[in-house]
Amino acid sequence: MTGKRSRNIEVGAAICTILVLAPVVLSQNSSPIPVDKSQLKAWFNANIKPASARGSTIDPALAKAEVAAHIIKVKKDGSGDFDTITKAIASVPSGNTKRVIISIGGGSYREKIRIDRSKPFITFYGDPRNMPNLSYDGTARQYGTVDSATLIVESDYFVAANIVIQNTAPRPDGVMVGAQAVSLRISGDKAAFYNCKIIGFQDTLCDDRGNHFFKDCYIRGTVDFIFGSGKSLYLNTVLYVDGQKGVTVITAQNCFLRRIQVQGKRSKFQWAGEIRQAANRRGSQTFPGSWLY
């Protein structure tokens, strides 16, 4: 027990940054986000404060949840508390009221993972020098599009840092029926992703519903690879378009200055970062960042 407690203390020290950021998903400050990318870091530091500095401005339930985090270690070699992420999630009680940090060791985890709405305040934390890879090959033909995701998060206040989330199903060729394959579906409210890679082809990210924040992330796909009814901010995040001929529509949620109706409501997509197009016969191209509404 003493050894396990010491390891937990070490992990807690390593992820203190995530703990202080987790309570704040979207800034409530009226200060506008700068269009100039070079000013984003200063804006972020000025507006996104540690929980200790937020006082009574954050949700009381969230403030209480962050007081004493519980740490669970997942290691593929069996040296942690669990050897799979699914087992670690199952150990979190329904109606959870405390921040639970699942520290995931490096390596590949072939699992189809779901966090149901009864388990809020969960954090996935990986080592930035050896990021764990969560992968599965579910497709729309097998599960339906939104349930094909490798990781499905239905609970509120989810945080992920230094995680690779990937759907390894074959690239749709326009002939295969139900070939869409989601990597991540986020359906809970007030979720945050830091330094995560979300990789797929068509329908990579289902930004389903709720308010979400993506910072320093990398999202890769071919066409319509961000979709849903969520309201999200993508800050300093790369959207990588994987070699399509002709015009590629990045998002079915909102594309550039185009608004679409989703269940009678207007969806909103905000982004500050850059778009990259994979190398093709004309070479690779980098497009400057702009806002998407």
Which of the residues are catalytic?
A: 224
How far apart CA 68 and CA 242 sit, in angstroms, is 42
Q: Name the one residue in this structure whose structure tokens are 């009381």.
A: 60
Q: Name the strand (E) or helix (H) holding 179.
A: none
Q: Rounded to 10 degrees, what is the CA torsion of 197, 15, 188, 44? A: -80
Chain Cα centroid distance, residue 139: 20
Per the CB < 8 A criterion, the answer to whether 267 and 252 are in contact is: no
Angle at 39 between CA 37 and CA 41, to 5 degrees: 95
Q: What is the DSSP letter of 45?
A: H
